[in-house]
Amino acid sequence: MTTLFYIISLKIFLLFQIMAENLHRVVENPKILALDDARYIAGKFDPAQNPEFISFNSDSSNKLMHLRTEVYIAYLKMAQAAEADSVKLTIVSATRNFDYQKELWENKWIGKTAVDGKKLHLHIKDPQARALKIMEYSAPPGFSRHHWGTDIDINSTESEYFETPEGKKVYQWLFNNANKFGFCQTYTAFGEKRSSGFHEERWHWSYLPTAKIIWEAQLRNFDESKIFKFKGYQAIRSLHLIEFIRSVNNCIQ
Ligand SMILES: [Zn+2]
């Protein structure tokens, strides 16, 4: 009887200890960030370590990609529906955190990656003009929607691809159907609805049920004085970055 009592007490004790530990983990776990957390919005986290993200392989790369789980599930449903219509979708870029975007940006800034076939550090000396040139298609680190795990680039990031018969077919399918799965083309052509900001990107699709919440928090909390540093960050201060962020298509009819 005493032994049984002892075993039960021990089990209860262990159970409480496990509960306390888990509670502690949830409170202390820095990997889970709220959607309106400034670090989340600026991509200052590791998506591979974030339990709200899922890792997956894509045909376009031998590196693992990451997306928020609900976004990847929605994408899979969309890709399956596309396949049924003989349209092949492939993710070519998913989550890019701050460090990843910083490398992309800085490579363009220092001329390691050519922009329109030119090394910008030699070609455009004025820092603001250089930043604006990069910002035709690339967001500065801390301000890319790719930080959020809600946005994907599909099939190619070259405008020319979307002029080919295959590219036209893919775009037409996305234009007609992506909305049904929660996806929206963020950067549409300049016109009545969108007159400034990043140029048209037929490849960039955003999962709005989550992205819109993050975007609204980003606009609400926008503070240019709190930019995380990278090469050329001083130059973007006077470029009305908030207009680039605001100027997106939200697929509202
Ligand atoms: Zn993109």
When comparing pLDDT for 133 and 23, which is higher? 133
d(CA 96, CA 75): 17
Centroid of ligand 1 to alpha carbon of 115 (angstroms) = 16
The single residue listed with the structure tokens 């590219």 is: 167
CA of 154 to the centre of ligand 1 (A): 8
Instruction: Give the CA radius of gyration of the chain.
Output: 22
pTM score, whole prediction: 0.85
151 close to 210: Cβ distance less than 8 angstroms: no
Q: Which carries the bigger pLDDT value, residue 10 or residue 74?
A: 74
Query: What pLDDT, on the 0 to 100 scale, is given for residue 190?
Result: 94
Q: Enumerate residues 6+ apart whose C-beta is below 8 A from 71.
A: 149, 150, 152, 207, 210
Read off the pLDDT of residues 123-170 as tens digits, 9 standing for 90 and up: 999 999 999 999 999 999 999 999 999 999 999 999 999 999 999 999
Determine the distance separating the centroid of ligand 1 and the alpha carbon of 203, expressed in angstroms.
7
> Does residue 27 carry a pLDDT above 60?
no
Tokens 């234009």 — which residue?
A: 175
Residue with the bigger pLDDT between 25 and 34: it is: 34
Whether the pLDDT of residue 24 is over 60: the answer is: no
Reported for 224-227, long-range contacts at CB under 8 A and 24+ positions apart, including other chains, are: 226/38, 227/142
User: What value does the mean pLDDT take over residues 82-104?
Assistant: 97
Residue 147 contacts residue 101 (beta carbons within 8 Å): yes
pLDDT given for residue 23 in this prediction: 46
From ligand 1's centre to the CA of 201, what distance in Å? 8
Domain boundaries, given as residue ranges, for the chain: 1-30, 36-246
The better pLDDT of the pair 9, 129 is held by 129
Phi, psi angle pair for 60, to nearest 5°: -80, -10
Residue 20 per-residue DSSP state:
H
Quote the ligand 1 centre to 152 CA distance (angstroms).
Answer: 6
Q: Are 187 and 248 in contact (CB under 8 A)?
A: yes
Amino acid 119 reads K
C-alpha 144 to ligand 1 mean position (Å): 8
Give the whole-number percent of the chain exceeding pLDDT 90. Answer: 76
DSSP of 115-154, one letter per residue?
BTTB-HHHH--SHHHHHHHHTTT-PPTT--GGGGT-EEEE
Structure tokens given for 97: 């955190």
pLDDT for position 186: 96
Mean pLDDT (the chain) is 89
Percentage of the residues of the chain whose pLDDT score is greater than 70 = 88
One-letter amino acid for residue 97 of the chain: N
User: How many angstroms separate the CA atoms of 184 and 167, rounded?
Assistant: 17
CATH of domain 36-246: 3.30.1380.10
Q: Cβ–Cβ contacts within 10 Å for residue 181, how many?
A: 20
The tens digit of pLDDT for each residue in 78-87 reads: 999 999 999 9
pLDDT band at 103 (very low <50, low <70, confident <90, very high): very high
C-alpha 86 to ligand 1 mean position (Å): 24
Four-point Cα dihedral 125, 131, 136, 140, nearest 10: 150
Per-residue confidence (pLDDT) for residue 100, from 0 to 100: 95
- Residue 188: pLDDT over 60: yes
pLDDT above 50: residue 243:
yes
